[in-house]
Amino acid sequence: MSKEILSTNGEKLGEITLNDKVFGVEPNLHVMHLALRRQLNNARQGSASAKTRAEVSGGGKKPWKQKGTGRARAGSLRSPLFAGGGVIFGPKPRSYAFNMPQKARQLALKSALSAKSEQMVVVKDFSAINEPKTKLMASTLKSLKVSGKILIVADYKADENKNLELSVRNIPSVKVILPSNLNVKDLLEADSVVITESAVNDITERLQ
């Protein structure tokens, strides 16, 4: 599969062949679902906590005598049956994280890239954005004919893309990530993916 390499003005500069082993695989929905679940689970804090009857303060004195009152017997006002009592089987801090084999994670990424290959735009670099201005970035996205939620995959630490991160910061529908941070969630959520030529090469080298 080949794609046009565009400038930030939308002009054709050449062509790039996308490796079918990375950008042309049959998307595996099950593995993508697992990878997405893993990513969301691993991001959970898992800090919810409720006190059991052993941890709630008070309740040392027997509220009323065992027999003769007509009431049900009670040993503590901090029983889960009373207001202010402990919680039965409440949440405790825990980790929701789970692991996936590396090959399965790579397959999930390849599947997501392949599923988005039609909505992918390859650009040479972002060197034309010579100052950190949102206006420049907005006109670039217009020239590239991308809209909706946009994911930009580029090495924004490189000299040719040095103004990229600051230029997109005020555009809420655009997210920039490094090729090394590419993930299934961001790919699946994006309506369009703008990727630099060097990022394509970097991802291909890593995943094939």
Tens-place pLDDT, residues 160-196: 888 888 888 889 999 999 989 999 999 999 999 999 8
The residue segments making up the domain with residue 84 are 47-95
Same domain as 174, residue 114: yes
pLDDT at 168 (0 to 100):
87
Same domain as 61, residue 20: no
Under-70 pLDDT residues of the chain: none
User: What whole-number distance in Å separates Cα of residue 202 and Cα of residue 192?
Assistant: 20
Of 56, 80, 95, the residue that ends a domain is 95
pLDDT at 17 (0 to 100):
86
| 5 contact partners, CB below 8 Å, separation of at least 6 | 12, 13, 14, 15, 16, 122, 123, 124, 197
pLDDT at 33 (0 to 100):
96
Tens-place pLDDT, residues 26-49: 999 999 999 999 999 999 999 999
Same domain as 40, residue 128: yes
3-state helix vs strand vs coil in the chain, percent to 5: 35, 15, 50
- What are all long-range contacts of 136-142, with beta carbons under 8 Å and residues at least 24 apart? 136/163, 136/167, 137/164, 137/167, 137/168, 137/171, 137/174, 138/171, 140/8, 140/9, 141/171, 141/174, 141/194
Number of domains in the chain: 2
Same domain as 88, residue 112: no
pLDDT at 12 (0 to 100):
84
* CATH label of the domain that carries residue 159: 3.40.1370.10
Same domain as 191, residue 134: yes
